[in-house]
C-alpha cells in the first residue's frame, strides 16, 4: 500500500475515536505525497439503508420499479403511470403493468421515473474552487480592475498548482455531487493534463464515482506535459474497449498557442474518438472556425458555439456535429448570447452542460430552467414587439428535458446505451419525489421536473442497473471524510497560488 493511502487510512481510523484530530490527520495524509491516486477502501462504506434491495444490477437479477410516473423520453415507449422491469444492467420491459414473478420490487408510487441527466461539458477538476468566482467573467475587463477572471485566475493561476491528488479529490467529490443530483452521465472536460499522473488521476477518480462518463482529454501545461501524444497510451491503457462505463473523447481546441487544431483532430481520428472543443465568439474564434469549416465532421462536439458565422452553423448542421449549450454560464461569464434559438431553428437537438462550478452550480434543474427561461424570454419579447406570428415557438418543458437527457446521450455517441427508458438500453434511471412539499400535488410530470424540482427531489439513482443513491443517501461513500479531504486540497491550492479565500468578498 502506498504511503499516502496508509496515512489516510490511519487518519480516519483514529478519527473515529478522536474526532477533533480528524482534519489534521487528513490534511497531513493529503500532502504526504503524489504517488497515491486511488481512494482507500475505507472510503467505500455502504449507506445505512436496511431496506435497500440487494444485488440490483447483478447479471440475471430482475428488479421491478413499480407504480411510478414513467417519463421515458422515448416516443415509441410513451409516458404513463406504470412499471419498469430491469434484468441485470439493462431495461427489460416497460408497461402500465408488468407481472414480474419473484423480481425484487422498488416501490415508485408518487415518484417520477425517468432517465438520468446527461451533462455534455463539465470541468470537474475545479470542484475545490466552488463559488470562488461567483461574479467573474471569462477574461479581463479594463472596467473591472483587480477583479479575478476565469482565464487569468482559474486556468492561469490555480490550475498550475494542482497536484494529481488535488485533481483526484475534486473529480471524485464533484462527480459524487452530480450523481447525488441525478446526473448519471458526464463529459469531463479536464484541462489539467500537466503530466501522465494528472491524467491518470482524472480517470481513476471517474472510475471511483461509478457513473457513466466520457473522459475528455484536453490540454495541460508545465515541464512534464505529455499532451497530446499521451492520448495513445491513455486510449490503450484505459479505453481499449468502448463497452464500459467510461469512454474517451479527444480535446481539439482551436485557440491553443503553437498547436495546430488539425493535428489534434487527426489524432482523434487515428484513435477513433470524438473530438470536442470550446467555440466562443467573445474570444475572437469566428475567423478560426470559418477556416476549419471544411474539416467539420459528425464526430465533433462544439461547446457554446457563441458568435459563429452562418457558414459555420450550416456546415455543422450538414455534417451532423453536436452543440452543447451551457446557458447559465454563457449568460453569466460573457461568452456571448447562448445560441439556443439558432440550434432549435436548425433542428440540431442541442444538449445542456454545466461548465464550471467556480461560478455556477452543476445541478441540472438549474441548467433546464436557465435554458427554458432564456428561450422563452427572447421569444416572448419578439411576440410583444413584432407580433406573435413573428416569434419563434416557445420551448416546452418536455423539449428541455430532451435537451437534458436523450440529446446529450446522442451528442456523446451514447444514445444506444442511455438517455431514454427504452428496453435494451442500460438502466440509468432516477426516481424523483413528486410527493415532496415543493411539488405536490403533481399535475404535470415534465413541468414539475423543469419548473418545480431541485436536487432534494432526487430520491434514488441507478447507473447500469446498480443503485448509487437510495432514498436520499449516496451508497458506498463516506462523504464527511471526502469533504475533509477536499477542504485540505482547497487549502493547499489557495496557499500555493497565494490567494486569500474571499469568504465574504
- Report mean pLDDT in 10-residue bins for the chain, 505 residues: 38 36 37 42 45 93 98 98 98 97 95 98 98 97 95 97 98 98 97 98 98 97 96 98 95 94 98 98 97 98 98 98 98 98 98 98 98 98 98 98 98 98 98 98 98 98 98 96 98 98 93
State the pLDDT at residue 226.
97
- CATH 3.20.20.140 residue ranges for the chain: 117-411
Distances (CA, A) of 211 to 206, 207, 214, 488: 8, 8, 10, 25
Q: What are phi and psi of 78, to 5 degrees?
A: 85, -175
CA 380 distance to own-chain centroid: 30
Question: Pairing mode, if any, of strands 300-306 and 274-280?
Answer: parallel
* Domain 62-115+422-473 CATH superfamily: Urease, subunit C, domain 1 (2.30.40.10)
End-to-end CA distance of the chain: 43
Distances (CA, A) of 367 to 110, 130, 212, 378: 24, 17, 19, 17
Measured between alpha carbons, how far is 187 from 174 in angstroms, rounded to an integer?
A: 13
- CATH 2.30.40.10 residue ranges for the chain: 62-115+422-473
State the pLDDT at residue 1.
36
State the pLDDT at residue 258.
87
Measured between alpha carbons, how far is 248 from 445 in angstroms, rounded to an integer?
A: 34
C-alpha cell at 192: 489539467
pTM beyond 0.85, yes or no? yes
Residues 403, 327: contact at Cβ < 8 Å? no
CATH 3.30.1300.10 fits 117-411, yes or no: no
- Selection from 433, 358, 359, 446 nearest residue 406 by Cα: 446
State the pLDDT at residue 26.
35
Query: What residues contact residue 215 under an 8 Å CB cut-off, 6+ apart?
Result: 188, 190, 202, 203, 206, 234, 238, 239, 246, 247, 248, 249
Query: What residues contact residue 212 under an 8 Å CB cut-off, 6+ apart?
Result: 184, 185, 186, 245, 246, 414, 417, 418, 426, 428, 463, 464
CA 344 distance to own-chain centroid: 22
Amino acid at each position: 500500500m502506498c504511503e499516502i493511502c496508509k496515512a489516510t487510512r490511519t487518519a480516519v481510523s483514529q478519527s473515529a475515536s478522536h474526532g477533533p484530530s480528524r482534519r489534521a490527520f487528513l490534511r497531513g495524509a493529503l500532502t504526504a505525497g503524489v504517488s497515491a491516486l486511488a481512494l482507500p477502501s475505507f472510503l467505500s462504506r455502504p449507506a445505512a439503508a436496511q431496506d435497500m434491495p440487494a444485488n440490483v444490477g447483478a447479471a440475471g437479477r430482475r428488479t421491478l420499479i413499480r407504480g411510478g410516473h414513467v417519463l421515458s423520453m422515448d416516443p415509441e415507449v410513451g409516458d404513463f403511470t406504470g412499471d419498469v422491469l430491469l434484468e441485470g444492467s439493462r431495461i427489460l420491459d416497460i408497461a402500465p403493468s408488468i407481472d414480474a414473478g419473484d423480481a425484487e420490487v422498488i416501490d415508485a408510487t408518487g415518484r417520477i421515473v425517468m432517465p438520468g441527466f446527461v451533462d455534455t461539458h463539465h470541468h470537474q477538476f475545479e470542484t475545490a474552487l466552488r463559488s470562488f468566482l461567483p461574479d467573474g467573467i471569462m477574461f479581463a475587463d479594463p472596467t473591472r480592475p483587480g477583479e479575478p477572471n476565469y482565464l487569468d485566475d482559474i486556468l492561469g493561476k490555480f490550475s498550475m498548482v494542482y497536484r494529481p491528488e488535488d485533481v483526484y479529490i475534486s473529480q471524485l467529490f464533484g462527480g459524487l455531487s452530480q450523481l447525488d443530483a441525478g446526473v448519471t452521465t458526464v463529459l469531463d472536460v479536464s484541462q489539467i493534463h500537466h503530466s501522465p499522473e494528472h491524467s491518470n488521476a482524472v480517470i481513476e477518480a471517474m472510475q471511483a464515482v461509478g457513473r457513466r462518463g466520457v473522459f475528455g482529454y484536453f490540454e495541460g501545461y508545465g515541464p512534464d506535459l505529455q499532451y497530446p501524444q499521451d492520448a495513445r497510451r491513455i486510449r490503450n491503457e484505459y479505453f481499449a474497449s468502448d463497452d464500459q462505463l467510461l469512454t474517451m473523447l479527444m480535446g481539439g481546441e482551436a485557440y491553443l498557442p503553437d498547436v495546430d487544431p488539425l493535428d489534434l483532430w487527426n489524432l482523434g481520428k487515428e484513435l477513433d474518438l470524438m473530438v470536442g472543443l470550446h467555440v466562443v465568439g467573445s474570444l475572437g474564434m469566428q475567423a478560426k472556425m470559418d477556416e476549419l469549416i471544411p474539416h467539420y465532421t459528425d464526430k465533433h462536439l462544439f461547446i457554446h458555439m457563441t458568435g459563429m458565422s452562418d457558414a459555420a452553423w450550416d456546415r455543422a448542421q450538414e455534417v451532423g456535429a453536436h452543440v452543447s449549450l451551457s446557458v447559465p454560464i454563457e449568460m453569466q461569464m460573457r461568452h456571448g448570447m447562448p445560441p439556443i434559438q439558432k440550434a432549435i431553428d436548425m433542428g440540431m437537438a442541442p444538449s445542456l452542460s454545466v461548465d464550471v462550478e467556480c461560478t455556477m452550480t452543476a445541478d441540472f434543474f438549474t441548467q433546464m430552467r436557465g435554458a427554458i427561461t432564456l428561450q422563452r424570454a427572447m421569444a416572448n419579447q419578439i411576440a410583444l414587439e413584432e407580433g406573435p406570428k413573428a416569434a419563434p415557438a416557445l420551448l416546452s418543458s418536455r423539449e428541455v428535458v430532451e435537451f437534458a437527457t436523450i440529446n446529450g446521450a446522442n451528442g456523446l455517441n451514447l444514445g444506444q446505451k442511455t438517455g431514454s427508458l427504452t428496453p435494451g438500453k442500460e438502466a440509468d434511471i432516477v426516481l424523483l419525489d413528486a410527493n415532496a412539499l415543493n411539488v405536490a400535488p403533481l399535475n404535470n410530470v415534465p413541468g414539475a421536473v423543469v419548473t418545480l424540482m431541485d436536487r432534494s427531489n432526487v430520491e434514488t439513482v441507478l447507473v447500469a442497473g446498480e443503485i448509487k443513491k437510495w432514498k436520499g443517501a449516496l451508497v458506498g461513500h463516506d462523504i464527511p471524510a471526502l469533504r475533509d479531504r477536499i477542504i485540505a486540497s482547497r487549502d493547499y491550492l489557495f496557499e500555493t497560488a497565494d490567494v486569500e479565500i474571499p469568504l465574504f468578498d
